[in-house]
Amino acid sequence: MTKHPPNALPSFAAHMEEKTLIQILQNTDAYTATGSPSYVSPKAVSQLIPPRAAVCAPLLFREDGWHLLYEVRSKKLSMQPGDISFPGGHTESGERSRDTVIRELQEELLITRDQITLLKKLPKLIGPGGAIVTPYIGMLHQYDGSFDHSESAHIFT
């Protein structure tokens, strides 16, 4: 089994063993009924594409000025438990990154759409889990400090 040097492949596949890549590409779902290798199924291809996510660095105005809101992720989560992060999450099928970040802000901070203004989309980056993350800078309006306790242990500015 050959392991490629980390800089030879995109970061999400940098440590993928050659055997794993071959198994994915030779998946029986990857071929047409005629056995022609000219067609690769979406399922096989999707295993090679890293997941997508979006996050927001949300600004809020308080008496003493502008603050940036952070979350401490719940210890009960399977991905990055206890980490300090910005609100956000994985992009669902057919969803744009802008839609993802708005949905995640609403779910995690228990707010409505009219409390969110997205100000700037930043360049994509690779997250700790290998996802392609689209970060945004946003502003929260009339935010009361609420949050979903199943997703976050607490929030702070």
Over residues 48-76, the pLDDT tens digits come to: 788 999 999 999 999 999 999 999 999 99
Domain ranges of the chain: 6-46, 52-156
Q: What is the pLDDT of residues 127-137, one digit of tens each?
A: 888 889 999 99
Long-range contacts of 146-150 (CB under 8 A, 24+ apart): 146/109, 146/110, 146/111, 147/71, 147/108, 147/109, 147/110, 148/107, 148/108, 148/109, 148/110, 149/74, 150/74, 150/76
At residue 34, the pLDDT reads 46
**Lowest mean pLDDT: which of 22-31, 44-53, 103-112?**
22-31
Residue of 147, 136, 144 lying closest to 62 (CA atoms): 144
At residue 156, the pLDDT reads 95
CATH fold of the domain at 52-156:
Nucleoside Triphosphate Pyrophosphohydrolase (3.90.79)
Q: What is the pLDDT of residues 8-19, one digit of tens each?
A: 444 444 455 566
Residue of 14, 13, 17, 20 lying closest to 3 (CA atoms): 17
Widest pairwise Cα distance in the chain: 69
Distance CA 70, CA 96 (A): 23
